[in-house]
Amino acid sequence: MKNTWFSRKYPTITDLEDLAWDRGAVVMRGPISHACIVYSPDPEDPTVICLPEGLGVLAECWQLAHEVGHLVLHAGYSSPWAYGRQEAAAMRWAAQALIPESAVRRHKNASLDAFIGALSAHFEDIPPQDCPERRLAAEIAHIRLKAVQEAA
């Protein structure tokens, strides 16, 4: 399957899972505390993206997009020296996946609130008061705004 959604539309969890599959990874959910990616030493075995069970829609899409970002941008295990740069790049890729370029163009005066509202409209209703979902949406929006500013 060709990745036709990136930058054009808000992805679904299925879009992200399909892209992981296209990159040779399977997605599994289980009783774990945080998402991770497990590269097999045997090239015949698939890479496994592990996600915690019971996440909200936005959190699940964010964590899966982050791990898929690693698949798209990096080739396997990184050294401790490259870890920080690779994490930042995967977060930037995930934010750009979840807030596509088409949305950036629609919000000509892009702001944190505009992007939080867009995430709320497309993934899950995010309450107006401080809560984990709103903090996550603000983090994603902040990363995306920074990428927009760097591109300008």
Say which residue the tokens 């790049």 belong to: 89
E strands of 24-77, at which residues? 25-30, 36-38, 47-52
Cβ burial, residue 63 (10 Å; 0-12/13-18/19+): buried
Q: Could you read off the pLDDT of 22-68 as tens digits, one per residue?
A: 999 999 999 999 999 888 888 888 999 999 999 999 999 999 999 99
Rounded Cα distance, 20 and 65, in Å: 9
Separation in Å, CA 142 to CA 30, 71, 134, 148: 29, 23, 12, 10
Predicted model pTM: 0.91
- Structure confidence by residue, pLDDT tens digits, 79-138: 778 888 999 999 999 999 999 988 888 767 678 888 898 899 999 889 888 999 999 999
Name the pairing type of β-strands 25-30 and 36-38.
unpaired
Domain ranges of the chain: 13-151
Q: How confident is the model at residue 77 (pLDDT cuts 50, 70, 90)?
A: low
* Measured distance CA(32)–CA(143) in Å, rounded: 25
